[in-house]
Amino acid sequence: MHRTRRGLREGAGVWFTTLSVRGGCRLKIGMLGTISWRTPPRRYGPWETVVHYLTEGLVERGYDVTLFATGDSVTKAKLEWVCPHGFYEDESLDAGVYQWLHISNAFEKAHEFDIIHSHYDFYPLTFSRLTDTPLLTTIHGFSSERILPVYRKYWDNYYVSISDADRAEGLNYVATVYNGIDVGSFECGDAPDDYLLFFGRISRDKGTHRAIEVAKETGMTLKIAGLVASEHRTYFEKCVKPEIDGEQIQYLGTVDEKTRNELFKQAYCSLHLISFAEPFGLTLVESLASGTPVIATDQGSVREILVDGETGFIVQSVRDAIDKVGEIGSIRRQRCRTRAERFDVDHMVDGYISVYDTIMEREAERSAI
């Protein structure tokens, strides 16, 4: 049994006894999701997707989870909310106001939980020393080096990276836990069509224009599906929109889950020609789960997900990608599916249970000093 404080003000002098996570207790977890979109998202929302799968997986295993998300979120966990809808879905909501109301609501209830598990970037770290409840932060990528001073100040919190490639020096990492998807919800196609697929956020660093170049050079159709965020609107208007002809280059906008699955299943291959260090890349795994090989730039976590020459090709340039399109026929689609199973949601849930266990043990050791 572990002795650990649970979110009490200093000097309160009250201690609780909890069983080990693996001892079968109903560990109380405050899951702090984002409020950009609903959880799970209707269309776009990678962080919300991960939080949904993790939350539901933990509930299925008997954990007592409270999800902090938007009011219209759908979950089997207890739901706490102050923001009725995702602020990208409701223009009447001020993101700068609601994100702080949302985060502060979680920390005002911190004493109710054994762990607060944050997926809200660096913002909640600034509350972490105001409670005795341990804070675990899953870092879903570093948006800029300018945010690192916050992480450095709170380096001794608990952290999880979503790939070995996406780590900052000096932080107290507990583990790397890869993002997971429901592989079973994807059907592995064995008779693909002859189009290339770009799926994901439309932006320069994601390489939408490079995918267009590959399609034009190979003479193949390219289907593009994904969100054009306001900060990438100029890029879309200048570099993508002029190339869209509705025939060879098609833009489908954001699509629902059913359409997404069909697009991946029927694609000849998907293109992931990024120019930044990808923290993970859910679309890589979604493509593999559909049996569809991926041609991806050698950046960030790509080599942790793809096996070069077996589940697609890892390239150094657009020219390399163009050359590799002709070799996609050598990739066995069932091998792609088998690779994706390494990133199934059950593996992710197992990983986080192990992390929670470690945190409880470390907290018990601190309490004993």
DSSP string, 346-368: HHHHHHHHHHHHHHHHHHHHHHH
**Which tokens is 79 given?**
């739901």
* Distance from C-alpha of 293 to C-alpha of 271, rounded to nearest angstrom: 9
pLDDT digit string, tens, across residues 222-260: 999 999 999 999 999 999 999 999 999 999 999 999 999
Closest CA to 291 of 260, 261, 334: 334
pLDDT digit string, tens, across residues 117-153: 999 999 999 999 999 999 999 999 998 899 999 999 9
Pairing of strands 115-118, 135-139: parallel
The pLDDT of residue 190: 85
CA triplet 149, 154, 160: central angle to 5 degrees? 100
CA triplet 260, 262, 266: central angle to 5 degrees? 125
The pLDDT of residue 346: 97
The pLDDT of residue 25: 60
Q: Which domains does the chain have, with CATH numbers?
A: 2-180+344-368 (3.40.50.2000), 183-342 (3.40.50.2000)
Q: Coil, strand or helix: which one is 18?
A: strand
CB-CB neighbours of 351 under 10 Å: 18
Closest CA to 27 of 108, 106, 102, 112: 112
The pLDDT of residue 369: 76
**Which tokens is 172 given?**
């107290």
**pTM (2 decimals)?**
0.90
Instruction: DSSP letter for 190, please.
Output: S
